[in-house]
Amino acid sequence: MLPRRRLGQTDMELTTLSFGASSIGQEFRSVDLGESLQAVRVALDSGMNFIDTAAFYGRGMSEMMLGRVLPDIPRDQYYLGTKLGRYTGEHFDFSARRVTESIDTSLERMKVDHLDIVLCHDLEFVEMSQIVEETIPAIRREIEKGKVRYVGVSGYPMKMFKYVMERADIDCLLTYNHYTLQNDMALDLVPLAKEKGVGLMNGAPFSARLLTNAELPPWHKATPEVRKVAAAAAKHCADRGSDIAKIALQFSIANENFATCIPGSANPKRVAQWAEWAQEPMDETLVAEVQEILKPIHNWFYIEGRPENNDEPVAS
């Protein structure tokens, strides 16, 4: 059984491993539709109780795919979260009017009557004051209508999470690529999140394949040095008879400051493997060895969205 942790001050007890549905929207590669649907079922059958998606993933495809599966599953057996505000690579709309439209569209696509979590998606691309002054209050009004239960934000830089937590009433946030074997900058959020009662969720424990044996996607922003060091760490794991992806997942799950860890895949076998890894003991000696190898690129990150919304760069 996957352990559960409470998400902030909500009434939600999330399993430590959740299902990220970006991949079933073909966000990263062409997928087999049957396998994608099966991946969702395997995730739920493996005990995961939270599904994370977004209107942006597959430009609606991820939500539509979930709408093929979820009607057959009792609604009280899973929690469901989606995101709004980003709709294509360059199209962002965080207006109050679009909040209402987006939530109604997501409900219709997924064939559910409510959403447990709605997150403002990749707000580092826009003027963040709008999120605080217009978007979050608009989502709160949808909560009053019973369409949504909790509100939060998601994105890449740590700076914008601190900005929102200091100025708005949110229930949770989803950070990605910032609590991994290579980057633990999200730990800086923990004190403020506890003070404000904000639940933390951690996405992308593999840092978009950087901490796996798979080839990096063409859009990955890792520098040659980052790629070289990560490859050395992966080789060390292989030489020790292990898989860097396994310890990366286990490492991210182990920190109890994060209610859940959210990887994503449209491959049902991989999803089942993650569930197995999540319940096996972590090789702490190997983790320490890998972190030592990764030291030259510790907390390397890239710029995403508006420069003024980003953290101060570090040398890579």
| Positions marked catalytic | 57
Neighbouring-strand partners of residue 262:
203
- Other beta carbons less than 10 A from residue 269's beta carbon: 12
Structure tokens at 314: 């570090």
How many whole angstroms separate alpha carbon 54 and alpha carbon 56? 5
Helix, strand and coil in the chain, % to nearest 5:
45, 15, 40
Structure tokens at 310: 């980003």
**41 three-state secondary structure:** helix
Beta-carbon-side half-sphere exposure of residue 213 (alpha carbons within 13 Å): 11
Q: Radius of gyration of the chain from Cα atoms? A: 18
Question: Closest by alpha carbon to 164, among 138, 127, 201?
Answer: 127
Strands 199-203 and 79-84: unpaired
